[in-house]
Amino acid sequence: MRQGLGLPYGCRDGACGACRGKVVEGDVDHGSYQAGALSDQDRAQGYALFCCSRPKGDISIEAREVTGMGDIPIKTLPCRVEKIEKIHDVAILRLKLPVSERLLFRAGQYIDILMKDGKKRSFSIANAPHDEGFLELHIRHQPGGSFSEYVFTTMKEREIMRFKGPLGTFFLREDSDKPILFIASGTGFAPIKGIVEHARHIGLDREMVLYWGARTLEDLYLAGMAAEWQATMPNFTFIPVLSEPAEADAWQGRTGFVHEAVLADFDDLSGYQVYACGAPVMVEAAHRTFTTERALPEDEFYSDAFFLSKDATPKS
């Protein structure tokens, strides 16, 4: 990245697998990573996670290049908590940037909140780049989670925090004309919200279908917003999917796992792009089944898994 070469990445912690590529020549020290992101079979076939691998000498690699990554600088900036809105178990934070600063980012990227104890918390940006001067984050309450507990019990408006960003290679590829499938679970809706708002702002007319999975109806904390997109955007469809609807929900819609709803609706994904965001188990299942059972090209699956790293809460 320092040399202007954009390689795919997400967690930077060997957990999500977004940076997986092949070492063609030479050797690397694989470093510390989670087994779910790189199997022993992957390693035997020459694959590595480039976010945590270190070359032992000159190497040649095969990796998907992300163009234009060097165009936007990564900054460390202060911000002020302008508003805290709580919907069910999700806090929507609106962070105000300094008047003299502007954060350039691509729709779907994330930032790291820098804590006073030296740790970081990663959260997707839920607004579009044209909404200058502020950032929107969606934070699910994690019982026992130090940062989410702080947000829900202690944080006050006008507090000052510091963050680093923008980060990640999960963002809308605007150079394609393929129809788009968005697959979200829980607060994986956040970056997709930013992408859809950006697409709407630039007049993107590609077909877009959002499958948003959750346990119960109240877990779809901004379902009304997604429904409004469907009502006002002719090229947009919203399909909510509940895995354990409550009796009080009186749910008549789709049920089960969200990626299975896609499998039921599409026999062939060879002409699509897929953006999947949320729980790692969902992202992994979607990637595996869409590429092997529905002919989705490997390089048209973009993902951001909300992992649990060594020193951070799951990205929300």
Question: Is 172 contained in some domain?
Answer: no
Evaluate whether 119 touches 126 at the Cβ level (below 8 Å): no
Helix pair 258-265, 280-293: axis angle to 10 deg: 20
Q: Closest Cα partner for 279 from 219, 201, 218, 196? A: 219
Beta partners for residue 87, in sequence order: 90
| CATH number of 92's domain | 2.40.30.10
Specify the CATH number for the domain of residue 2: 3.10.20.30
**Residue 127: how many CB atoms within 10 A of its CB?**
20
Asked whether 244 and 212 are in contact (CB, 8 A), the reply is no
- One domain, residues 148 and 226: no
What CATH code is carried by the domain that includes residue 258?
A: 3.40.50.80
Q: What integer pLDDT is reported at residue 308 of this predicted model? A: 52
State the total domains in the chain: 3
pLDDT at 276: 96
Residue 316 lies in a domain: no
Residues constituting the chain: 316
- Is there a single domain that holds both residue 208 and residue 286? yes
- 301, 196: one domain: yes
Distance set, CA 213 to CA 15, 59, 65, 189, 294 (Å): 22, 41, 30, 9, 20
Q: Is residue 310 part of a domain?
A: no
Please indicate, yes or no, whether residues 195 and 292 belong to a single structural domain of this protein.
Answer: yes
Quick check: is 174 in a domain? Answer: no
Do residues 51 and 99 share a domain? no
> 205 and 235 share a domain?
yes
Report yes or no on 175 lying in a domain: no
Q: Are 90 and 187 in contact (CB under 8 A)?
A: yes
Amino acid letter, residue 136: E
- Measured at the CA of 19, the angle between CA 13 and CA 24, to 5 degrees, comes to 125
Q: 115, 140, 167: which is the final residue of a domain? A: 167
The answer on 187 and 128 residing in a single domain is: no
- Sheet with 254-255: list strands edge to edge: 254-255, 236-242, 208-214, 180-185, 273-278, 301-305
Same domain? For 30 and 145 the reply is no
Q: What is the pLDDT of residue 132?
A: 81
pLDDT at 310: 42
Domain finish residue from 13, 42, 71: 71
Longest distance between any two alpha carbons in the chain, whole Å: 61
The range of the structural domain enclosing residue 226 comes to 180-305
Residues 109, 111: Cα–Cα separation, whole Å? 7
pLDDT value of position 11: 65
Check whether residue 194 and residue 298 sit in a common domain: yes
**Considering the domain boundaries, does residue 83 fall inside one?**
yes
Q: What is the pLDDT along the chain (316 residues), one digit of tens a residue?
A: 666 676 777 666 676 677 888 888 889 998 888 777 788 888 888 888 888 888 998 999 887 766 655 678 899 999 999 999 999 999 999 999 999 888 999 999 999 999 988 889 999 999 999 988 899 999 999 888 889 999 999 999 999 999 999 999 999 999 999 999 999 999 999 999 999 999 999 999 999 999 999 999 999 999 999 999 999 999 999 999 999 999 999 999 999 999 999 999 999 999 999 999 999 999 999 999 999 999 999 999 999 987 554 444 445 5
Is the same domain home to 186 and 289? yes
Spatial distance between the Cα atoms of 288 and 282, rounded to a whole number of angstroms: 10
pLDDT at 4: 66
Residue where a domain terminates, one of 32, 50, 71? 71
Pair (83, 67) in one structural domain: no
**Amino acid in position 22:** K
Per-residue confidence (pLDDT) for residue 145, from 0 to 100:
84
* Pair 100, 62 in one domain: no
Is residue 135 in some structural domain? yes
